[in-house]
Amino acid sequence: MTEYMKGIVKDKPEPGATWREDLPIPAIKDNELLIKVKAAAICGTDMHIYPWTAWAQQRLRLPMVFGHEFAGEVVAVGSTVRSFKVGDRVAGETHIPCNKCYQCQTGNQHNCNDMKIIGVHTEGCFADYIAIPVDCAWRLDDSLSFEIGAMLEPMGVAVHGVLAGDIGGKSIAIYGCGPIGLMGVGVAAACGASKIFAIDVFDQKLEVAKQMGADVTLNSRNDNVIDKILQATEGQGVDITVDFTGNGNAIKEGFAILRKGGRVTLVGLPNEPVALNLTDDIIYKEATVQGVTGRLMYKTWWQCNELLKSGKIDLSPVIGGKYALKDYDQAFSALKEGATGKMLLIP
């Protein structure tokens, strides 16, 4: 192993990042793994860090390597690690649980009271190597490529959101056809949804949603989404609405198209408070409303694994582009310009 590694560093409180070839390879603790990164992916979180938005300014301490969606090969294990060995192929879980709080001790490690996030609070994966706690390693099935492995973390968000309740034989409206929303469409199709409506403002994203299994695609800039969905459901509305946008108008619309007794699952993060009509849209409808964050550790990972192995979902249409890690500027620029799908970075 060489003494230094290459990577992308957020080193200045301004837009952009710096390519470095003299970064120290991380030293691992007793409970950690050193992973040689084989593929990484750009997340919406990184789209806050790279341009240095207020969200990033409040959370990061510079300088640091960022990025948190990745897969790779174990090259070193800590002295107390027994479940992994050198040569194992792994994907990375983003959430670092404390394993001490009430949430962690009641099976909710993904929502730890003292949660740390890889690539936000600790050094990230946009480099040749990353050190992670053993709790954050998921053994990658031999049938899955490293590129697909790098997409398991965001796929888990889609799985957690769509499968937060019964889905088989039910109609579902999915708001937002970014990578996670597109994977959500695929999950709904694979798990037996009776009719899938996909809503976005970009036609090219809606075209990919069709490939992932959407029955009806609606562009909310041009279509009257409420009228069209109510017409298609005989005035009842859909059984399930899942919002991946965080857009206040989309969230309100999602309640308007929900049938009585239906479920709304909120995954996207609004930038400001959203006012809802609690009387008509929740109380009188007896609606179930859920918030979803991250992935259940490790139920969601097993669900992702089995769905992919079954062949009922194919993530390849969601891959929007592949770039060498050093060409990260091109990948971020493509996303800023509205490119569809997940951008992969290959060290």
Containing 171, the helix (H) or strand (E) segment is strand 171-175
Q: Provide the CA 102 distance to its chain's centre, in angstroms.
A: 25
Catalytic residue among 48, 68, 95, 160: 48
Helix %, strand %, coil % of the chain (to 5): 30, 30, 40
- Within a 13 Å sphere around the CA of 2, how many CA atoms are in the beta-carbon half? 10
Q: What do you get for the CA distance between the two ends of the chain, in Å?
A: 15
For helices 152-162 and 179-190, angle between their N-to-C axes, nearest 10 degrees: 60
Is 288 noted as a catalytic residue in this protein? no
| H helix or E strand, kind and range, residue 208 | helix 203-212
Which residues are bridge partners to 198 per DSSP?
174, 217
Set 18, 45, 288, 300: catalytic member: 45
Rg over CA atoms, the chain: 20
> Cα separation of 158 and 214, whole Å?
15
DSSP 112: -
265 classed as catalytic: no
Q: What residues does 72 pair with on adjacent strands?
A: 37, 90
Distance CA 133, CA 130 (A): 10
Spatial distance between the Cα atoms of 270 and 289, rounded to a whole number of angstroms: 16
Structure tokens at 219: 């562009």
Question: Residue 7: helix, strand or coil by DSSP?
Answer: strand
Q: CA 283 to CA 288: how far, in whole Å?
A: 9
Cα torsion 131, 134, 139, 144 to 10°: value is -30
Residues annotated catalytic, as ranges: 45, 48
